[in-house]
Amino acid sequence: MKQLTLILALIVTTMTFAQNKNAKASMEVDGVCGMCKERIEKAAIKTKGVKSAVWSIETHELKLIYDENKTNLETISKNIAAVGHDTKEIKATDEAYDSVHPCCRYRDQDVVKDHDGEKKAESKN
């Protein structure tokens, strides 16, 4: 019985230390503009254990580097949803979504079209 307890303790200890302190991941996050980018990255960075967060306006991909001992993707997604941005895993509440600036309303197709027009104009310059 003592051997079994010792083996279980060793397995748990090994699993704990096996977690990556510089895990890399990416997730899809909805948004449309530079203000969204700032809000999304700030929410991710404020999550304890997140070391880097870079969101792309064009692809909606949030690239992360984080410590698996301190956080996980679900916690990061919850923090992003709390500031009004949907992820594939967690949808922002209507209250959180309504708190974003009117130009950041990514669920509104007219707003999305307006931002698409801006992107095309910028790429011509």
CATH no. for 21-124: 3.30.70.100
Query: What pLDDT does residue 113 have?
Result: 87
Query: What pLDDT does residue 124 have?
Result: 55
In tens, the pLDDT along 2-49 reads 665 555 555 555 555 567 889 999 999 999 999 999 999 999 999 999
Query: What pLDDT does residue 116 have?
Result: 79
**pTM of the prediction?**
0.78
Domain boundaries along the sequence of the chain = 21-124
List, in order, residues 6 or more apart from 43 with CB less than 8 Å away.
Answer: 79, 80, 82, 83, 85
Query: What pLDDT does residue 118 have?
Result: 57
Cβ-based neighbour number of residue 98 at 10 Å: 11
Please give the single-letter amino acid code of residue 29.
V
Query: What pLDDT does residue 79 have?
Result: 98
In tens, the pLDDT along 48-77 reads 999 999 999 999 999 999 999 999 999 999
125 vs 24 pLDDT, higher one: 24
- Work out the angle at residue 13's Cα, subtended by the Cα atoms of residues 11 and 14, and round it to the nearest 5 degrees: 65
In tens, the pLDDT along 89-118 reads 999 999 999 999 999 999 999 888 888 765
